[in-house]
């Protein structure tokens, strides 16, 4: 895990020093630069040493004759399997790194090398002979990569703040993306909230040659359920594959541990770690919540379950109490995230990684991706319910459901968990296709977005503004295979994971120089899960059925079959207490008018309705607060951290 940066079509080596200086947290173990003045190409690298800690692993790294150079961030889990055939073909290795395998594999296959890789990565390879630069991002976007094309010049980096060290890169708001941010709490697809700065999409590569950049897809997961395999065989295949992929991701020359929330996904990973290494000392890390803080959000405390799993599997468990000074941490998190992300899960993620690093652990295995691969979300259950209701024709209980949602809101309050879920389910009831996915994914309603955004902000008419982001339509139509639940997971992987979960996991862990790995997104396991019939992943209302059955040999039923709680924080409590003063100051009428993005009267109404529990605007308010602090950091101050 490292940080990369560079340019093509320019010749200013000093830019490389400025870019790597912007992200020291991504590589405390060293840094390096390389540039070719004649070709107008430069590569920079920040190193976090994980495999081969010697000087032989320094980057940028070249092949034997210096005609191919690479700057690489990530891990290639099958690099040892790839190395043998390369050595047989005469390639000479000077290190034991996966980076050098990339170099020689590229010499053999060019961009087609990507089909051979199993890992998480973002890298740049300069080929002097072909005079081309290859940028690539892994299958599902676990590692970030940003870029900007300016005429015949290309600039790229692991973090936006590094790109802003280039004087010509504008730090101007991409106003058209603000609506999408308010919808999802993050910006999907290749767009960011800074004009002209883009994300390389998951499973894509960019090829720059002769001043022209072309982006192409290279990975497509096909969902072809195989009904000929028995349930017991699927259970055994899931077990064997998951243990194998977890073992594969445990290769490290530095201390390695795991997140352990007490939920199914992290518990399954730790179970597989113990199965793979029965005698190894394993340390896990978790977060503890204050019961009073969780009460308002009706959340559950995972800590007792994490302790139970630790006892059953004989692993060490260390926890940190989530009672931070949120006001102090929020600006720091916004600076590290690069993009505004209004999910309070960033705080437990950061605090767990900080605890691990202070404990001497540099690599953590995470359960991120399990819900997408094995159907673990309430939205999967909702989709299945919608499908069954469709068999009845037009759902006759629609008015009754509307009445139930209204009654629960009136009796329990708009912010009650039951009332919130009923309203969301009702929202997707009479939708279809992509609109249903969007209805279940949005965190603010179309009417409130239409009201709160000033008409001149995104340049779209009211009718146009209701249309989904173009990338959502593209991902929906690019689905390959069968099954609406599979299609829903495909969309979640392309958007929710790639543009949200993976980004904040990477940024919050790298903030303290910790590498996070995600065994659920191992290519072998993903391909297996794509072949499993939907009914084995969601059996009735039992989510992740086949995974739960595979893990019954390790984990108690109280852990396997408990209700899903998610990985978050007591946001509603924070809004009422810790964040109350910053909200009043940063979302007050004067500040909102000066910023010019939102209608001050509507913002005031949103705050008032939320405070009175007349509506649940908690995430919208947090999104507005986060956006204002992000604007101060990246637009007003060009990437300088602010304080509250």
pLDDT in tens, 573-614: 899 888 999 999 999 999 999 999 999 999 999 999 999 999
Determine the Cα–Cα distance for residues 627 and 193; give it in Å rounded to an integer: 10
Mean pLDDT (whole number) for 422-441: 81
What was the pLDDT predicted at 105? 98
Q: What is the pTM of this model?
A: 0.94
Go through the domains of the chain in sequence order and give each one's CATH number. Answer: 2-217 (3.60.20.10), 378-484 (no CATH)
Q: Which of 42, 75, 72 is nearest to 59 (CA)?
A: 72
185 backbone φψ class: left, alpha, beta (φ>0; ψ -120 to 50): left
Maximal CA-CA distance, the chain: 74
Tell me the percentage of the chain whose pLDDT exceeds 90: 78
> pLDDT at residue 277 above 80?
yes
Omega within 30 of 0 (cis) for the link into 60: yes
Q: Write out the two tokens for 236.
A: 């055994």
**3-state secondary structure labels for all residues of 463-505:** HHHCCCCHHHHHHHHHCEECCHHHHHHHHHHHHHHHHHHHHHH
What was the pLDDT predicted at 462? 43
Buried b or exposed e, range 262-276, using 16+ CB within 10 angstroms: bbbbbbbbbbbbbbe
What was the pLDDT predicted at 109? 96
What was the pLDDT predicted at 463? 43
> pLDDT at residue 502 above 70?
yes
CA distances to 141, 142, 192, 481, 511 from 504, rounded to whole Å, are: 12, 10, 14, 30, 10
What was the pLDDT predicted at 66? 93
Mean pLDDT (whole number) for 203-210: 97
Determine the Cα–Cα distance for residues 12 and 617; give it in Å rounded to an integer: 48
Mean pLDDT (whole number) for 72-79: 96
Whether the CA torsion 150, 153, 156, 160 is positive or negative: it is negative
Mean pLDDT (whole number) for 286-309: 76
What was the pLDDT predicted at 457? 81
Confidence of residue 459 (pLDDT cuts 50, 70, 90): low
Which residue reads 């990684």 in tokens?
353
Please, what is the average pLDDT of the chain?
91
């Amino acid at each position: 895990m490292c940080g990369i940066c560079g340019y093509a079509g320019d010749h200013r080596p000093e830019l490389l020093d400025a870019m790597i200086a912007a992200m020291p947290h991504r590589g405390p173990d060293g840094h390096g630069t390389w540039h070719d003045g004649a070709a107008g190409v430069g590569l920079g690298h920040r190193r976090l040493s994980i495999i081969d800690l010697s000087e032989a692993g320094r980057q940028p790294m070249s092949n034997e004759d210096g005609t191919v150079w690479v700057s690489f961030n990530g891990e290639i889990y099958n690099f040892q399997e790839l190395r043998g055939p390369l050595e047989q073909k005469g390639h000479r290795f000077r290190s034991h790194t996966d980076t050098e395998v990339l170099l020689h594999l590229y010499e053999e296959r060019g961009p087609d090398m990507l089909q051979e890789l199993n890992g998480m990565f973002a890298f740049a390879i300069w080929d002097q002979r072909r005079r081309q630069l290859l940028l690539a991002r892994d299958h599902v976007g676990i590692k970030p990569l940003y870029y900007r094309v300016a005429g015949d010049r290309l600039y790229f980096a692991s973090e936006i703040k590094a790109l802003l060290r280039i004087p010509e890169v504008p730090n101007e708001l991409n106003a058209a993306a603000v609506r999408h941010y308010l919808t999802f709490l993050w910006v999907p697809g290749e767009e960011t909230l800074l004009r002209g700065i883009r994300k390389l999409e998951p499973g894509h590569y960019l090829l720059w040659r002769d001043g022209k950049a072309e982006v192409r897809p290279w990975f497509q997961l096909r969902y072809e359920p195989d009904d000929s395999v028995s349930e017991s065989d699927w259970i055994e295949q899931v077990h064997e594959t998951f243990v194998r992929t977890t073992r594969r991701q445990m290769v490290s020359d530095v201390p390695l541990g795991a997140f352990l929330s007490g939920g199914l996904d992290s518990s399954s990973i730790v179970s597989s770690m113990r199965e793979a290494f029965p005698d190894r000392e394993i340390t896990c890390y978790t977060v503890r919540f204050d019961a009073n803080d969780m009460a308002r959000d009706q959340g559950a405390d995972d800590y007792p379950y994490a302790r139970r799993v630790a006892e059953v599997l004989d692993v060490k468990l260390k926890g940190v109490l989530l009672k931070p000074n949120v006001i102090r941490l929020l600006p720091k998190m916004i600076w590290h995230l690069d993009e505004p992300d209004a999910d309070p899960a960033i705080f437990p993620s950061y605090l767990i990684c900080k605890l691990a690093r202070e404990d001497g652990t540099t690599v953590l295995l995470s359960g991120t991706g399990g819900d997408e691969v094995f159907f673990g979300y309430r939205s999967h259950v909702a989709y299945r319910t919608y499908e069954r209701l469709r068999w009845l024709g037009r759902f006759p209980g629609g008015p009754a459901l509307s009445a139930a949602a209204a009654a629960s809101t009136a009796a329990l309050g708009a912010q009650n968990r039951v009332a919130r879920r009923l309203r969301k389910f009702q929202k997707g009831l009479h939708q279809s296709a992509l609109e249903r996915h969007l209805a279940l994914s949005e965190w603010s309603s179309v009417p409130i977005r239409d009201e709160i955004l000033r008409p001149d902000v995104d340049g779209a008419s009211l009718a146009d503004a209701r249309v989904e982001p173009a990338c959502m339509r593209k991902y929906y139509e690019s689905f390959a295979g069968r099954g609406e639940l599979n299609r829903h997971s495909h969309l979640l992987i392309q958007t929710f994971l790639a543009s949200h979960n993976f980004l904040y996991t990477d940024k919050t862990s790298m903030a303290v120089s910790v590498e996070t790995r995600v065994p659920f997104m191992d290519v072998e396991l993903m391909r297996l899960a794509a072949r499993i019939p939907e009914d084995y992943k969601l059996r009735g209302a039992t989510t992740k059925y086949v995974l739960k059955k595979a893990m019954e040999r390790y984990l108690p039923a109280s852990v396997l079959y408990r209700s899903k709680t998610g990985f978050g924080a007591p946001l509603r409590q924070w809004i009422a207490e810790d964040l109350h003063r910053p909200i009043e100051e940063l979302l007050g009428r004067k500040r909102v008018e000066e910023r010019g993005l939102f209608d001050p009267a509507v913002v005031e109404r949103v705050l008032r309705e939320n405070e009175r529990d007349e509506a649940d605007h908690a995430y919208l308010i947090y999104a507005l607060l986060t956006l204002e602090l992000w604007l101060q950091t990246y637009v007003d101050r060009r990437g300088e951290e602010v304080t509250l």
